[in-house]
Amino acid sequence: MEALLGGFATTLTLDNLFYCFVGAFLGTVVGILPGLGPLTTIAILLPITFKMDVTSAIIMLSGIYYGVAYGGTVTSVLMRIPGEASSVVTCLDGYEMARKGRAGAALGIAGLGSFFAGTVGVIGISFLSPPLAELVIKFGPAEYAMLMLAGLTMVTYMSSGSLPRALLMAAFGLLLGTIGSDPLNMTPRLTFGILALGDGVNLVPLAIGLFGLSEVLFMARQKPDDMKVLPPPSHLLGFMPSREEARRSVGPVVRGTFMGFLVGLLPGGGAVLASFLSYGMERKLSKHPEEFGKGAVEGLAGPESANNAGTAGAFVPLLCMGIPANAVTALLLGAFIIHGVTPGPTILERQPEIFWGVVASMYIGNVMLLILNLPLIGLFVRILDIPRAYLTPMILAVCLIGVYSSNGNPADVVISVIFGFVGYFLRRHGFDLGIVILAYVLGPIFERSVRQALAISDGDPTIFLHSTISTGFAIVAVLLLLAGLWPKKKKAAG
Amino acid sequence: MMKLGGTRIATLGLLGAALIGLWKALELESWGFDGPGPGFFPQLMAGICVTLALVVLVFPGQAGETEGGDTDDVEATKESNRTFAIYIATFAVFALGAMYAGFVVTTMAVTIVIMRFAERRSWFASIGYGIACAAAGLVCFGWLLRVDLPEGPIERKFYTYVR
């Protein structure tokens, strides 16, 4: 506690507060704007921080990272364009809420839920870091492989469609993830000799194609009268969630927070997996599962909280073990090292002021994010008043900027258009596209873990059942597959 | 005989993609001296994908509900079909423009095609809004935020003045 108070003393200087604000603000803007991902922004700003004080620099860079988690929500709710992979789930019910005139409530719930999740996540970092770091270090390739398998199986089990369809979408996503260079020896795979596919199908064109561009096609298909969005309430408090919405959000926010933090601890897209798992769990627990995908408040509150708690959780392996959980935290690790900070088990002893300074800045950063975002909701929801004739060109321009700037490659725009059509066709026939994104994100980690485990065991597949942890995950995966088949049989019998 | 509904057509598409993936994956080494090779995982995934696609083809099962209202049949009229066809054409303009014409020309062309032909707005409104979208994108993203935009002659000329 004393150390944490010391961290607050470090953060609550005028300079550090300013950098914390700049980081949170930039993060939110980056999340809203297409084209500037957290990775690009941190990479651009990294040289600027070289002359800054080490703690201030790291506080600002961290602020960008967790600010993005909230900013990505805005475009997902209002335009169905996911800013990042973990915002994909937000599109499902957040966008439907916006169409029903509840955009303000959706953004309000997301903001408050994110604040709660972020705060609990930071408390978790403060008190649970050392024991959690010890647990996570027990994960080897076999454990990771089985964890990924269990995670994917859980999401397919929780999908509303039939199990074979959901599994097909997962396999399709995993297959897409194998396009490009082999992650271990760089051999080109499934590229058909096309140079543009050398680095594989990138996430941004895939997600924007499957969700953003396919939505434009759906809008085009509808009659203007059918697609009218209910206007949001004009009075100030109309943007706040109703009492009923708030009541229905409490459980999902709490569950999403705890699940998100725990899953976020695991390297490799923890926040993404957490948001999907939370969505599936809320649908299974809901008394009104039929409302999911049509604007269920639980379908927004749970995943948004899980996403933000997962972002906080990802700092535990980074700070305590020096293991980055994803590409952005890998860049943050680089920033730490450039500034002479070596994250790892000894950081608490050698540079406690930096560790606790970053943790304290997260508390303050979460408050700043809330103050920054709630008053802007009224402004954001005005986007929904724009008629289709004006909105679709704007969405296409935003998609063009986002897709092209992610890699500076015009071929990505063609890829996104192809996935726009694929997404439209699959959505029209009831295939769950969220699973494709999740499988695509987890695919490379899954593959690497499977191959490393098999290489260690010299091809013996029983390595996946050698430890209690991996056996446990394997059992969960099998049980979920069997459970996924069970209700269908019962229905058929009935 | 099986009825070839939309779900089965979509599944056939996925089956085709998986078969092509499997064919290409089989050209890769599946096992090397140091363990699983680059072909191991793609072969496994493509094989699973083919199997599952065949299962769904025979038993399409229940459609997902995650995308609210997507599977609802929209009553197609001559006008809605026309609008939809123009939007599809716009996507071609969008992709080709990004490859060859740059951000400004693509954005203006897409906006004008959508507003004038699909949404039947006036030429004045269509061109005006097209210019506004292109200018806003170029100034805010290309210049102020220094985001990479597809480059054509207009962007290059503009950057020589402002950068």
Q: Is residue B89 part of a domain?
A: yes
B158's tokens: 């503009």
pLDDT at residue A75, as a whole number: 76
Nearest one of A88, A81, A36 to A396, comparing CA atoms: A81
SS (H, E, C) A333-366: HHHHHHCCCCCCCCHHHHCHHHHHHHHHHHHHHH
Domain match, B22 and B52 both: yes
Residue A243: pLDDT band (50, 70, 90) is: confident
Residue B66 has pLDDT above 50, yes or no: no
B18 and B92: one domain?
no
Q: Establish if B63 touches chain A: CB-CB under 8 angstroms.
A: yes
Half-sphere exposure of A354 (CA within 13 A, CB side): 25
Assess whether B93 and B136 both reside in one domain: yes
Residues B82 and B158 in one domain: yes
ipTM score for this prediction = 0.91
B13 reaches A (C-beta below 8 A): yes
User: What pLDDT band is residue A493 in, cutting at 50, 70 and 90?
Assistant: very low
**B85 and B131 assigned to the same domain:** yes
A interface mutation test: which of B4, B33, B41, B96 has the most A CBs within 10 A?
B41
CB-CB under 8 Å, B40 with A400: no
Between the alpha carbon of residue A302 and those of residues A42, A45, A283, A331, A352, the distances in Å are: 28, 32, 10, 28, 33
Q: pTM of the full predicted structure?
A: 0.77
Cβ–Cβ below 8 Å for A396 and B94: yes
- How many whole angstroms separate alpha carbon A363 and alpha carbon A355? 13
Do the domain assignments include residue B70?
Answer: no
Cross-chain Cβ contact A161/B63 below 8 Å: yes
Spell out which residues of chain B touch residue A427, defining contact as CB-CB under 8 Å: 67, 70-71
Residue showing tokens 């206007």? A231
Residues B109 and B52 grouped into a single domain: no
Question: Given an 8 Å threshold on Cβ–Cβ distance, is B41 in contact with A218?
Answer: no
Residue-wise DSSP of A102-137: -HHHHHHHHHHHHHHHHHHHHHHHHHHHHHHHHHHT
Tell me the CA distances in angstroms from A103 to A292, A382, A386, one per residue in order: 16, 9, 14
Q: Is residue B63 in a domain?
A: no
The count of structural domains within chain B is 2
Residues B147 and B85 in one domain: yes
Most B CBs within 10 Å: which of A33, A90, A175, as the mutation test of the B interface? A175
Contact (CB<8Å) A451/B40: yes
Give the residue, A12 or A327, on which the prediction is more confident: A12
Interface of B with A in 20-49 (CB under 8 A): 21, 24-25, 28-29, 31, 34-42, 45-46, 48-49
Q: In terms of domains, do B112 and B155 share one? A: yes
Number of H helices, E strands in chain B: 6, 2
A413 to chain B nearest CA, in Å?
6
**Residue B118 structural domain:** 78-162
In a domain, B10, yes or no: yes
When scoring B14, B29, B45, B67 by the number of chain A Cβ atoms within 10 A, the one with the most, hence best to mutate, is B67
Residue B155 belongs to a domain: yes
The H or E element that residue B32 is part of is strand B31-32
8 A C-beta contact, residue A447 and residue B80: no
More reliable by pLDDT, B23 or A10: B23
Q: Is the Cβ pair A405, B149 closer than 8 Å?
A: yes
For residues B35 and B109, membership in a common domain is answered with no
Q: Give the residue from chain A lying closest to B99, CA to CA.
A: A410
- Longest distance between any two alpha carbons in chain A, whole Å: 71
Is-contact A173 A435, C-beta < 8 A?
A: yes
**Two tokens at B160?**
């020589």
| Lowest-confidence pick of A205-219, A266-280, B43-57, B123-137 | A266-280
CB A267 within 8 A of CB A315: no
Tokens of A36: 């500037």
Q: Tell me the CA distances in angstroms from A51 to A46, A48, A54, A353, one per residue in order.
A: 10, 7, 9, 19
From the CA of B5, how many Å to the nearest CA of chain A? 9
List the alpha helices (DSSP H) in A137-227. Answer: 141-158, 163-177, 203-207, 214-221
Nearest-by-Cβ selection for A161 from B35, B41, B62: B62
What is the DSSP annotation of A426-473?
Answer: HHHTT--HHHHHHHHHHHHHHHHHHHHHHHHTTT-GGGGGSSHHHHHH
Nearest CA in chain A to B49: A171
Do A175 and B50 meet the contact criterion of CB atoms below 8 Å apart?
Answer: no
Residue A104 C-beta-side C-alpha neighbours within 13 Å: 22
Unique residue bearing structure tokens 């599994």: A167
More confident residue, B24 or A366: B24
**Are B87 and B13 part of one and the same domain?**
no
**Judgement on whether residues B156 and B91 belong to the same structural domain of the protein:** yes
Banded model confidence at residue A324, pLDDT cuts 50, 70, 90: low
pLDDT (tens digit, 9 = 90+) per residue, A142-177? 988 898 888 888 778 877 678 888 899 999 999 999
Pairs of CB atoms within 8 A across A/B: 247
pLDDT confidence bin for A490, thresholds 50/70/90: very low
Beta strands at A180-181 and A188-189: parallel, antiparallel or unpaired: antiparallel
pLDDT tens digits, A446-459: 898 899 999 999 88
CB A100 within 8 A of CB A299: no
Q: Is the pLDDT of residue B67 over 50?
A: no
Spatial neighbors of A193 by CB under 8 A, at least 6 apart, are: none
Rounded to an integer, the average pLDDT of A182-201 is 85
User: Do B45 and B11 reside in the same domain of the chain?
Assistant: yes
